Amino acid sequence: MSLTSIAKRFRIDQPEKFRLAAHDPAECYGLTVDKRAAKAMLSEGIERLSDLQERLYADGRWSVLIVLQAMDAAGKDSLIKHVMSGLNPQGVEVHSFKQPSEEELAHDFLWRIGQRLPANGRIGIFNRSQYEEVLTVRVHSELLERQKLPKECVTKDIWQKRFDDIRAFERHLARNGTRVLKFFLNVSRDEQRKRFLDRIEQPAKRWKFSMGDVAERKLWDKYMATYEDMIRQTSRPEAPWFVVPADHKWFTRLVVAGALVRELAALDLEFPKVKGKALKELRKVERALKTDTYPPPPKRPYIPSRPIPRGDANRLRRLVGIGSAPARVLSRARTRAASGSARRH
């Protein structure tokens, strides 16, 4: 069983039939591997992903945007750490979208997203994204007031219009060479509770805990309904959603790694071919380098044996080839000259 075949199982290709309740957060696709075997499978996927990243950069025609959405404690940060560990950090940018700033609120809700899109040949990772506008803002509709929208724009179909805008935005990206891949890390409410308790009990993890996380748990059912509608409305061939079981982190990482390998491989990325006049010039350089030899090492500075007047420091500098003559060099030269003179007498 390959990573790519596992990942295919969790891609939402028929969104109109999607039901979140039909997806088990604890599913492992029949795998019962131990941690050692899981690490071996993940390492294989990361190695393949590293090769594809190099091809992506060399090819220079495509970019990849990875969107991560989930409830708190679903494992987004650890996923980035483990799955992306084998990638060249120069070609990857991770951005976490927090609450909008005043500047961002002065623009439309997609404006700040456009500022962070990856360039050709690069991978962008959004830890939360434009989808916060149809998730958190929808659950907490009072947040719309901060966006200073005209009253005519805040209607009962505002969420449907935002879905339309997001689909159009992602279709625009796809038509211009950005492959959009979206992952919902589907953690169960019980597993989230265990992870919150783990954060509280371990001093090194307490900084991650927020009282607001507990408040959001009370809205769990409302969030699940909102996630389901979001995926149904926005999973399209050019920007598919993957609903990834997140109760077992090792399996979550395998699915995401497999999905990335599968989708990047489908882009048919190639290394640029050097041919014609450029190839001839390259062969010339190759031949020149093969016949090139290292120059002989420089000769040691010449120190004369005859006496040198004490005040003629500039002449000594020219003889030894240095910009300044340290005291010990001058002393050594005078001593050597004096001893030679004594022997002659």
pLDDT at residue 278 in the model: 86
Length of the chain, in residues: 345
pTM summary value: 0.81
Domain annotation for the chain: domains and CATH numbers: 3-265 (3.40.50.300), 300-345 (no CATH)
Q: Are 65 and 178 contacting, i.e. CB atoms less than 8 angstroms apart?
A: yes
Is the separation of the CB atoms in 340 and 305 below 8 Å?
yes
The pLDDT of residue 325: 47
pLDDT at 320: 56
With beta carbons less than 8 A apart as the criterion, state whether 333 and 308 touch: yes
Q: Tens-of-pLDDT digits for all 345 residues of the chain?
A: 678 888 999 999 999 999 999 999 999 988 876 677 788 889 999 999 999 999 999 999 999 999 999 999 999 999 999 999 889 999 999 999 999 999 999 999 999 999 999 999 999 999 999 999 999 999 999 999 999 999 999 999 999 999 999 999 999 999 999 999 999 999 999 999 999 999 998 887 777 777 777 889 999 999 999 999 999 999 999 999 999 999 999 999 999 999 999 999 999 899 988 888 888 888 888 888 888 766 666 677 666 566 656 556 566 566 555 554 455 555 565 566 555 554 555
Note whether 13 and 240 are within 8 A (CB): yes
AA identity, residue 320: V
Task: Return the ∠ at Cα 222 (arms to 98 and 26), rounded to 5°.
Answer: 85
pLDDT given for residue 293 in this prediction: 64
| Calculated CA dihedral for residues 334, 339, 344, 345, nearest 10 degrees | 100
3-state secondary structure 139-196: HCHHHHHHHCCCHHHCCCCHHHHHHHHHHHHHHHHHHCCEEEEEEEEECCHHHHHHHH
User: Residue 169 has what pLDDT?
Assistant: 98
